[in-house]
Structure formats: C-alpha cells, structure tokens
C-alpha cells in the first residue's frame, strides 16, 4: 500500500492507529524494562504516541503516522524480536 492509498482507507487508518496504540500501551506496561531490553529505542516517544492517539485524535497527522510505520516500525520490530530471542535463550539456560 502506498501513502496515498493509506490516507484514503479509513479502515486501514483505524487499524494502524489501534495497533500503534497497543504498542504504546505495551511500552507503558514494560516501564523501565523496555529500555533495558531494547536500548536505543525512543521509548518516551513510543509511550507518548498512545496518549496522542487517544486524546488528540482530531489532530493526528496521517503523514506522520505513515512515516512512523515506514521509517520507525521496522526497527522497533527488529529490536523487540531480538529482545524476545534473548529472553527465550535466557529462559532455556535456566531449565
């Protein structure tokens, strides 16, 4: 999907915003552990995104949402996947 198609597809916009809000909420629940598990991620910004989506929804800039998904989400996904693998490895070592 390209940016123009995204900006016209309300169902996809809602789904993306909802998923970003969930990621933000997970970051809130992880607290300081998020920084320990994935250093270098702008966790304050990730947490703040959820507040913005929930409380400033009328001012959500779709260009910024698109940029986040295109530019930042792949790195976040990779960092989190790496953290999960390290955690799995440490769990297996304790058995």
Q: Rounded to whole angstroms, how far apart are CA atoms 16 and 11?
A: 9
pLDDT tens for each residue of 18-54:
999 999 999 999 999 999 999 989 999 999 999 899 8
Average pLDDT of the residues in 3-30? 95
Q: What is the DSSP string of 54-79?
A: HH-GGG--HHHHHHIIIIIHHHHHHH
The total of structural domains in the chain comes to 1
pLDDT band at 86 (very low <50, low <70, confident <90, very high): confident
pLDDT value of position 92: 65
């Amino acid at each position: 999907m390209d940016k123009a198609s995204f900006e016209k597809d309300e169902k996809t916009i809602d789904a993306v915003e909802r998923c970003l809000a969930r990621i933000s909420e997970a970051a809130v629940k992880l607290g300081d552990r998020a920084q320990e598990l994935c250093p270098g991620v702008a966790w304050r910004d990730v947490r703040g995104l959820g507040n913005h989506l929930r409380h400033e929804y009328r001012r959500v800039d779709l260009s910024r949402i698109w940029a986040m998904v295109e530019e930042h989400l792949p790195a976040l996904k990779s960092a989190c996947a790496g953290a999960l693998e390290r955690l799995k490895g440490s769990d297996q070592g304790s058995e």
